[in-house]
């Protein structure tokens, strides 16, 4: 019984040592007569050239931890960069929408001014000589339409400046 226990402990210790040792396999680069390159774990018969390739040792736990730390840092930096790109694209989309809206408002204001130049009912005053002239209501309405065009132009200019700053 005691011998069994010792043998069992020895086998467990041997298995643990085998698992803990890094598996280092030799790698060979074989260049065949037709120029193909084949990598194997043994030299190939009929190869024109065979070179043993030195494998780098596996990374130490400290090297592995440093690599994982670098990878995490790079992942965070990439995530931050992707977020900045998304934010910038959102700002550009918002600026483009503002420009489109301002252009439409300007076009509408100009169309309203062009249509508003025709006098409406009750805006004409009779002259003593039999003619008619626009009254103060007409000029007030046309001035308001001109102010609307000016305001729409200022909004378009501001929207274009904001879009250029977002770029």
Tens-digit pLDDT profile for residues 127-148: 777 788 888 889 999 999 999 9
Rounded Cα gap, residues 114 and 162, in angstroms: 29
Rounded Cα gap, residues 90 and 97, in angstroms: 11
Domain match, 94 and 143 both: yes
Exposure string for 132-148, b = 16+ CB within 10 A, e = fewer: eeeeeebeebbeebeeb
Instruction: Look at residue 154 and tell me if it is in a domain.
Output: yes
Domain match, 92 and 137 both: yes
Q: What is the pLDDT of residues 78-89, one digit of tens each?
A: 999 999 999 999
Q: Where are the alpha helices (DSSP H) in 21-135?
A: 61-116
Domain match, 32 and 107 both: no
101 closest CA partner among 90, 89, 109: 109
What residues make up the domain containing 48? 25-55
Domain match, 36 and 71 both: no
Per-residue pLDDT for 15 more than 70? no
Domain match, 82 and 158 both: yes
Domain match, 136 and 77 both: yes
Domain match, 86 and 65 both: yes
The pLDDT value given to residue 21: 44
Domain match, 85 and 51 both: no
Domain match, 103 and 39 both: no
Instruction: Look at residue 92 and tell me if it is in a domain.
Output: yes
Angle between helices 61-116 and 136-166 (to 10 degrees): 160
Rounded Cα gap, residues 148 and 115, in angstroms: 13
If pLDDT is split at 50, 70 and 90, which confidence band does 17 have?
Answer: very low
Q: What is the pLDDT of residues 22-74, one digit of tens each?
A: 455 689 999 999 999 999 999 999 999 999 998 888 899 999 999 999 999 99
Instruction: Look at residue 11 and tell me if it is in a domain.
Output: no
- The total number of structural domains that make up the chain: 2
Domain match, 103 and 149 both: yes
3-class secondary structure, 55: coil
Domain match, 140 and 79 both: yes
The pLDDT value given to residue 3: 58
Are the beta carbons of 126 and 132 closer than 8 angstroms?
Answer: yes
Per-residue pLDDT for 14 more than 90? no
pTM > 0.85 = no
Q: What is the pLDDT of residues 90-119, one digit of tens each?
A: 999 999 999 999 999 999 999 999 998 888
Domain match, 51 and 66 both: no
Residue 145 tokens, joined: 């339409």
């Amino acid at each position: 019984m005691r011998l069994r226990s010792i043998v069992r402990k020895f086998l467990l210790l041997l298995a643990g040592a085998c698992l803990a040792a890094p598996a280092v396999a030799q790698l060979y680069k074989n260049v065949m007569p037709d120029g193909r390159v084949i990598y194997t774990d043994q030299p190939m018969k009929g190869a024109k050239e065979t070179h043993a390739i030195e494998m780098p040792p596996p990374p130490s736990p400290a090297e592995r931890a440093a690599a994982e730390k670098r990878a995490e840092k790079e992942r965070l930096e990439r995530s931050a960069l992707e977020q900045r790109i998304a934010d910038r694209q959102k700002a550009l989309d918002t600026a483009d929408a503002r420009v489109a809206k301002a252009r439409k408002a300007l076009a509408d204001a100009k169309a309203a001014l062009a249509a508003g130049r025709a006098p409406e009912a009750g805006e004409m005053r009779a002259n003593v000589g039999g003619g008619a002239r626009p009254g103060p209501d007409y000029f007030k309405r046309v001035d308001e339409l001109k102010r609307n065009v000016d305001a729409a132009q200022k909004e378009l200019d501001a929207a274009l400046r904001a879009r250029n700053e977002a770029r």
